[in-house]
Structure 1
Amino acid sequence: MNAAQDPGTGPNLRSGSSSTNHVAAGNSSSTSNTPSKERPNNDTQQATVNGTANSLLTEQRVNLKNLPLDEVLVKIRAIVVELQGLEEYNRGEGMKFQKMLGDFYWDYSSHRQAIGDALSECGYAALTVKMLKTMNAMGIFKNDDIWFPTYYTYNTAWNYSDASDKLAKSLAEADAVRLLTLNLGHKPYLSAMQSKNVYYVLKASLSTLHNIARSPDVRHYFKENNTSEVIIPFIAQKDEFLKAISMLTLAYIVEEEENATLIDDTGTIGQLVKWLDKATESTTKRRFRGFSPWELTQGLDKLAVNDHNKMKVVEAGALPVFLKMLQHDDAKEQATTAHCVWTLAFDKGVRQKITDYEGLVPALETLAASDNKQVKKAAVGALWIIKGENDPGTSTRPKSALKSKSHIFISYSWNEKELVKQIREKLRVEGYKVWIDYEQMGGSTLQAMAEAVENSAVVLVCMSEKYKESPNCRTEAEYTFQQRKDYIPLMMQKKYRPDGWLGAILGAKLFFDFSGKYPFDKSMQGLLKELRGRGSRGQDSVDEPDAAVTSEEAVAVHSGNPHKLTNQHTPSHDTHNMTRDDVTGWLMHNQLDVCVPAMAQLDGKLLWQLKLMKEEAPQFFFQLLDTKLKLSFVDILRFTAAIDELH
């Protein structure tokens, strides 16, 4: 758990040579130090809080323990109201209220998420950023009246953002990413890291950024503030906590095109596997520098979403450690590890290594019968991919006997469930039949998913960061593609640009934007026109060509809002006139360098024959790419999208 220490142990106060007179980012003045004060005892310190709308109550911490959750939330909201009403934060009340919020974190450990969610709902994120910016301007190390509220504000934000994704995302929306990134790049801080208080601010800033990075739909905040570039120097620090939290944060925010610089060159994967091994070997706390095995595995899982990293995780020695974790009795470790194996297994080479590693598949088979739903889901999902059930060429599963294409299948991430429900209800009102897994128990319903895709008229692919990161969603998307089903991409997240395997699936297809950039009804109108009755009640849809075409005519016809990513459009070619060199250039332009040796003898006429083969003998075409040319799934998608553009 990436949480701070219990404030009951106290902050590391300034003393002697460890003190600093540097001020916060953006304040160029310097200040003098004052002697630090003794902190009052936590259980006897009194804090004033507005328990009702009209009265102030003075309560001791001991009297605030063992309250029902609803009373706790009332007090939490009241404290935030009091903080919002303060004109100055360095007069004592600011520290007391922030410390009181922190005490609830430790006294009500089973309700941390609920408290964090409540803080998000009542505006605590914006208040936190306002307080920190205000005290930055004053100079946070000027005296204890400023330092103490600063310390408790960082501490409270750090802890609750670890417990609540909702609060973490609210912090991002309130400009916290920019503020914390400025802290990490502030040269006076970096030159005074020997100061315990400066070190704490850097540690809290990194840790809170890590917590924010794990929440959905926030990656663009990190990109806008160049946070990756600011974090990289911390990887070279001797301090292993700073090194670890920096690498884990990068795992969540790195873009695929930055992977070589930010991941390969820094040795992040190998280091995380090394620390993971040390954490599992610990006989006491089963942690390494405060990080549990499941937290480190989550970081590897995020990195493994990038197909470029999958084999690197295995080559770094992860499989023996994963086997230990699958056999350990901690359900969270089991679920996280099986989930990571599921993510890795989309690579054929990795899949073979997993199969060959003694004990790994049997361990997953044991967990597939677990009573824990999350463990079972991840284990069954991993086995589905490992055993080739997603591949029509290797699957031994009998296909559905149904022949009609009678419904719309919606493939989506749980993060977008509310928006997906709106789309589904609108489709039902319009007379469409919709197949959707509201429980998102992917592993236990993969058989049902496969049959639903096979019998669908069309599949809606709901694109977002979380969709790309989910092995369950990738399983559905790949199965849709393997079955050569018609699919329509829907954009569910603002400022998201699909890359990697999801970008390859999108190719040059039109997508309909449901991210909120356009009115919902306008996007829905465009989608309904694109569906053209496929999946509607009372009729069985017939086979139709791919509806999400890219011609200007199609854009004009659909009055909704079909879009395509401009940098993914392939330039047109007069195929028959292409020379062998032209074909080679065409392959490289489409990031298909891997195909150049096998297709070196192809000219435009032969390439056109390959396009005709796709249309007239698709099963043989895809088998050729898969078994003869041994293309990866992403390369098959790229080649298919590119050849569709030829004319």
Structure 2
Amino acid sequence: MGANHHKISCIADELVRWIRDDYLQIIHVHSRTIGLWSKELLACMTQLIAFAVVLWCPIGQNKVLINALFVAEQSIYDHIEDLMRIIDYKPFHKEMKPVRSNDETSIIDAALMILMVIVRTQNVSWFFRSNVSIQNALTTLAEAALYDEICLHIYGILSEVLSDEQFKNLKIADSMGGFFFNMLEQAWQHPLKKYKHSQIEHLLRGFFNLSKHDFIQQETANMKKISLFIEMSEQYPIVYDIIWALSFNHDIQQQLRSNPSFIQKLSQLAKESDDEQVRKTTHGILWNLEIDHQDRSISQSTKQNTFDIMISYSHKEKVLCKQLYDELTKSGYRVWIDFDQMHGN
């Protein structure tokens, strides 16, 4: 299995390098003449960007392959601007459908997926934060979109790149929580665990991107939705990551503490889960609730698994946090920093 995965990665790497220049050049040239596109050219451009999605999105966390696409730093920003010309083309907005049933909807959806890969793997937050026109274009599209997947992509992109202050000041900020909770609740009640064409796992990953923001945490607390996540945690381990992020909020902490059976479950998972990531996240939740400080019986190896400091951070600051970690450990502090699952606020 490992050998096959390596072979596929090698083939993908060769393919990326083979089509890279042509792909970037075609998008760059034709995005500037989008008003002249025929229906046939629109179909071809849609297929090209959709092919790029198939090639890069499943391996979007592999920075080696993404870096193979962008040999120069400037090419990253150029490609973002090229994609934004397509995404922000108003005649396409008028033709958008509630499902991906025409080229206009499909090309916008595919271009947003490429943008999502870029913001998750490249250090481009400053570019989005300093470019108000891009923020406004994405916000306007989210307001107009009939296709929920487009909104999901936009919320995911903006939550990755904007500061908490910028994010909560967006025109669409007030509707984000309700948007996700409505979809999650309907998907949870659906026999196939999906909302329209979106699987619940996809929706949970989308909400996880939002959960690091303070105002989303507070909205979750105000709407008393933590019980929904507690219920879903039995089937979907990513929910523990969401609850961990939410548990930085004081009101969420109070709501969690009022559920002793869930606290007991967390304590048990922190000791006994076979999933290392679940052990880490449940331990993180208990740490935020100060349960782990009060009950040293969580693990027989408490001295090994108890820490003076926990650092939670975003993947874009990994190098800085590693330096901080090294300095603190040199000074004798016991520091827990999760280099495998990088997130936080």
Flag whether TM exceeds 0.5 (same fold): yes
**Structure 2 residue 174 is matched with structure 1 residue 257:** no
Q: Please report how far the alpha carbon of residue 414 of structure 1 lies from its aligned counterpart in structure 2 after TM superposition.
A: 8.8
The 5 A counterparts of 1:135-154 are 135-137=30-32, 141-142=37-38, 144=40, 146-147=41-42, 149-154=44-49
**Matching residue within 206, 214, 222 for 1:307:** 214
Normalized against structure 1, the TM-score is what? 0.42
Q: Please report how far the alpha carbon of residue 312 of structure 1 lies from its aligned counterpart in structure 2 after TM superposition.
A: 1.0
Could you tell me how far apart the structure 2 residues matched to 1:345 and 1:418 are?
22
**Matching residue within 279, 292, 298 for 1:376:** 279
**Structure 2 residue 253 is matched with structure 1 residue 351:** yes
Aligned to 1:31: none
Q: Kindly tell me: are residues 359 and 308 of structure 1, through their superposed partners in 2, closer, same or farther at Cα, counting changes over 3 Å?
A: same
Aligned to 1:242: 150
**Structure 2 residue 63 is matched with structure 1 residue 155:** no
**Structure 2 residue 92 is matched with structure 1 residue 189:** yes
Could you tell me how far apart the structure 1 residues matched to 2:129 and 2:151 are?
20
Q: Please report how far the alpha carbon of residue 297 of structure 1 lies from its aligned counterpart in structure 2 after TM superposition.
A: 3.0
Could you tell me how far apart the structure 2 residues matched to 1:361 and 1:174 are?
46
**Structure 2 residue 33 is matched with structure 1 residue 131:** no
State the AA in 2 paired with 1:453: Y
Q: Give 1 or 2: higher helix fraction.
A: 2
- Superposed CA offset, 1:447-502 (max 9, x none): xxxx9527xxxx9x9xxxx99x734xxxxxxxxxxxxxxxxxxxxxxxxxxxxx7x
Aligned to 1:570: none
Q: Kindly tell me: are residues 228 and 364 of structure 1, through their superposed partners in 2, closer, same or farther at Cα, counting changes over 3 Å?
A: farther
**Matching residue within 326, 329, 343 for 1:435:** 329
The 5 A counterparts of 1:277-288 are 277-284=185-192, 286-288=193-195
Could you tell me how far apart the structure 1 residues matched to 2:322 and 2:281 are?
28
> Quick check: 2:314–2:343 contact (8 Å CA) kept in 1?
no
Could you tell me how far apart the structure 1 residues matched to 2:194 and 2:110 are?
19
Q: Kindly tell me: are residues 217 and 82 of structure 1, through their superposed partners in 2, closer, same or farther at Cα, counting changes over 3 Å?
A: closer
Q: Please report how far the alpha carbon of residue 154 of structure 1 lies from its aligned counterpart in structure 2 after TM superposition.
A: 0.6
> Quick check: 2:92–2:104 contact (8 Å CA) kept in 1?
yes
Q: Kindly tell me: are residues 282 and 342 of structure 1, through their superposed partners in 2, closer, same or farther at Cα, counting changes over 3 Å?
A: same
- Superposed CA offset, 1:141-172 (max 9, x none): 4364x445423321122234422232557668
* SS class of match (1:217): coil
State the AA in 2 paired with 1:158: V
Could you tell me how far apart the structure 1 residues matched to 2:213 and 2:11 are?
44
* SS class of match (2:141): helix
Aligned to 2:182: 274
> Quick check: 2:253–2:289 contact (8 Å CA) kept in 1?
yes
Aligned to 2:267: 365
State the AA in 2 paired with 1:248: G
> Quick check: 2:269–2:282 contact (8 Å CA) kept in 1?
yes
Q: Please report how far the alpha carbon of residue 291 of structure 1 lies from its aligned counterpart in structure 2 after TM superposition.
A: 3.4
Q: Kindly tell me: are residues 212 and 283 of structure 1, through their superposed partners in 2, closer, same or farther at Cα, counting changes over 3 Å?
A: farther
Could you tell me how far apart the structure 2 residues matched to 1:414 and 1:247 are?
17
Q: Please report how far the alpha carbon of residue 82 of structure 1 lies from its aligned counterpart in structure 2 after TM superposition.
A: 4.8
State the AA in 1 paired with 2:287: W
Could you tell me how far apart the structure 2 residues matched to 1:136 and 1:186 are?
10
Aligned to 1:470: 343
- Superposed CA offset, 1:493-525 (max 9, x none): xxxxxxxx7xxxxxxxxxxxxxxxxxxxxxxxx
CA RMSD of aligned residues (A): 4.2
Q: Please report how far the alpha carbon of residue 352 of structure 1 lies from its aligned counterpart in structure 2 after TM superposition.
A: 0.8
**Matching residue within 216, 230, 250 for 2:137:** 230
Q: Please report how far the alpha carbon of residue 313 of structure 1 lies from its aligned counterpart in structure 2 after TM superposition.
A: 1.3
Q: Please report how far the alpha carbon of residue 230 of structure 1 lies from its aligned counterpart in structure 2 after TM superposition.
A: 1.0
> Quick check: 1:162–1:208 contact (8 Å CA) kept in 2?
yes
410-419 or 231-240, which deviates more: 410-419
> Quick check: 2:256–2:263 contact (8 Å CA) kept in 1?
yes
Unpaired runs of at least 5, structure 1: 1-66, 84-123, 402-408, 428-432, 437-450, 472-500, 502-647
* SS class of match (1:214): helix
Could you tell me how far apart the structure 1 residues matched to 2:48 and 2:152 are?
23
> Quick check: 1:389–1:397 contact (8 Å CA) kept in 2?
yes
Q: Please report how far the alpha carbon of residue 258 of structure 1 lies from its aligned counterpart in structure 2 after TM superposition.
A: 2.1
**Matching residue within 125, 128, 134 for 1:219:** 125
> Quick check: 2:12–2:55 contact (8 Å CA) kept in 1?
no
State the AA in 1 paired with 2:203: L
Which of structures 1 and 2 has the larger relative contact order (alpha carbons within 8 angstroms, sep 6+)? Answer: 2
The 5 A counterparts of 1:61-76 are 68=4, 72=8, 75-76=11-12
Could you tell me how far apart the structure 1 residues matched to 2:52 and 2:259 are?
43
Could you tell me how far apart the structure 1 residues matched to 2:15 and 2:229 are?
44
Could you tell me how far apart the structure 2 residues matched to 1:289 and 1:210 are?
21
- Superposed CA offset, 1:592-633 (max 9, x none): xxxxxxxxxxxxxxxxxxxxxxxxxxxxxxxxxxxxxxxxxx
State the AA in 1 paired with 2:38: K
State the AA in 2 paired with 1:342: W
Q: Kindly tell me: are residues 264 and 360 of structure 1, through their superposed partners in 2, closer, same or farther at Cα, counting changes over 3 Å?
A: farther
Q: Please report how far the alpha carbon of residue 184 of structure 1 lies from its aligned counterpart in structure 2 after TM superposition.
A: 2.1
Could you tell me how far apart the structure 2 residues matched to 1:68 and 1:304 are?
35
**Structure 2 residue 69 is matched with structure 1 residue 173:** no
**Matching residue within 239, 255, 263 for 1:337:** 239
Q: Kindly tell me: are residues 384 and 82 of structure 1, through their superposed partners in 2, closer, same or farther at Cα, counting changes over 3 Å?
A: closer
* SS class of match (1:238): coil
> Quick check: 1:338–1:364 contact (8 Å CA) kept in 2?
no
State the AA in 2 paired with 1:196: N
Could you tell me how far apart the structure 1 residues matched to 2:155 and 2:310 are?
35
> Quick check: 1:413–1:470 contact (8 Å CA) kept in 2?
yes
* SS class of match (1:220): helix
The 5 A counterparts of 1:482-497 are none
Q: Please report how far the alpha carbon of residue 222 of structure 1 lies from its aligned counterpart in structure 2 after TM superposition.
A: 2.1
Could you tell me how far apart the structure 2 residues matched to 1:250 and 1:291 are?
20
Could you tell me how far apart the structure 1 residues matched to 2:109 and 2:153 are?
9
Q: Please report how far the alpha carbon of residue 282 of structure 1 lies from its aligned counterpart in structure 2 after TM superposition.
A: 2.3
Q: Point out the structure with max Rg over C-alpha.
A: 1
* SS class of match (2:198): coil
Could you tell me how far apart the structure 1 residues matched to 2:191 and 2:158 are?
29
